Amino acid sequence: MGEIGEFAREARGELVRGIGVRGVWEGEAEWREAFAEVPRHLFVPYYYVGVRGGYERRWGEHADFRQRERWLRGVYEDVPLATRLRDGELVSSSSQPSLMAIMLVELGVRDGDTVLEIGAGTGYNAALLSHRLGDEHVTTVDLDPEITESARRHLDAAGYHPTVVTGDGARGVPERAPFDRIIATCALPSVPRAWLAQCAPGGRILTPLATGLVLLRVADAAHAEGHFLDTPAYFVPLRGDTPPEPPLPRLEGLPRRARGDDLFRFLLTLTAGGLDPREAYALWEREGEPPRERYGITVDGDRAWSWLDDPEGPYVWPLP
């Protein structure tokens, strides 16, 4: 175990340096310290990697030291890790560390802020938040009791004790509200109104939506608005009462470069309630293949819509 611990410290240092090369830590020494101190391997005692015909399980208790070392090397690579499968379907994962770092930095927490995390996962993200803010300021929620129980065990093993709640993340955790920040680590088709009601005025909500990340500034319980970040993001869907995202339409007949373009597919997903593929392609070309940060979301009472450049401009589309 001593050899494992030493290797983990070195691998964690390499991971932090690699993330730093991207400029993520600039002016963010607290988050750099959190990633350097919180041991990811305690939150991922096993994970699955895709192989021909299915998945291969790698775990830290393997009898062969070389296999344990292989597991540990994988833990500290800057990649997402599949941590829970059900009937061959991915239901939980540990997100890519560099993406987690970007999200936590963009969340813009300050000392004393309270944070609600939607999607407990392995507990690793909640541990990073607890390291930065203190256990008493962090709440994490997940629908699956198996996930929340394993997250509690991982957090205990690492010495962190935030509040872990089993429940529907789309409904938030009203008994712990209000929160200064809400961060989701699972994908949704829209922004649950319960989050706005549980977020303090002036707070922020950061959530995956349509293969992107939208950062909303909350005005009050009925109003929020914000832009997408420039980074793509792919997360396991939120499970619960929230309806699933509609499947992408068929793209036959469109130019090959559009069919394979990540930003075009983002536009299609974001505007599924208002544009067909040919209309989306015409807009995409006309507007110079706009990057994610030109898009945004507005929530106004019972209405919510996505937009390009201007929430009151010509390009607006309803969200579910």
Q: Are residues 90 and 9 in the same domain?
A: yes
Percent of the chain with pLDDT over 90: 76
Peptide bond into 291 cis (omega under 30): no
Inside any domain, residue 242: no
Q: Are residues 66 and 136 in the same domain?
A: yes
Question: Kind of pairing, strands 212-220 and 223-227?
Answer: antiparallel
Q: Are residues 204 and 108 in the same domain?
A: yes
Q: Are residues 156 and 301 in the same domain?
A: no
Inside any domain, residue 14: yes
Inside any domain, residue 239: no
**Residue that finishes a domain, picked among 187, 209, 227:** 227
Q: Are residues 182 and 300 in the same domain?
A: no
Residue 86 has pLDDT above 90, yes or no: no
Q: Are residues 206 and 260 in the same domain?
A: no
**Other beta carbons less than 10 A from residue 33's beta carbon:** 14
Position 255 scores a pLDDT of 87
**Residue that finishes a domain, picked among 209, 227, 245:** 227
Residues 18-53: tens digit of each pLDDT: 999 999 999 899 999 999 999 999 999 999 998 777
Active site residues: 92
Q: Are residues 291 and 158 in the same domain?
A: no
Inside any domain, residue 235: no
Q: What is the CATH number of the domain that holds 15?
A: 3.40.50.150
Q: Are residues 178 and 278 in the same domain?
A: no
Q: Are residues 29 and 157 in the same domain?
A: yes
Inside any domain, residue 170: yes
CA count, 13 A, side-chain hemisphere, 243: 6
Residue 158 has pLDDT above 60, yes or no: yes
Range of the domain at 51: 2-227
How far CA 315 is from CA of 251, 287, 300, 302, in Å, comes to 21, 11, 17, 20
Residues 162-209: tens digit of each pLDDT: 999 999 999 999 999 999 999 999 998 899 999 999 999 999 999 999
Inside any domain, residue 135: yes
Total number of domains constituting the chain = 2
Q: Are residues 90 and 176 in the same domain?
A: yes
Inside any domain, residue 240: no
Q: Are residues 7 and 67 in the same domain?
A: yes
Name the phi and psi angles at 317, rounded to 5. -140, 135
- Note whether 31 and 132 are within 8 A (CB): yes
Q: Are residues 91 and 197 in the same domain?
A: yes
Position 253 scores a pLDDT of 76
Percent of the chain with pLDDT over 70: 95
Inside any domain, residue 241: no
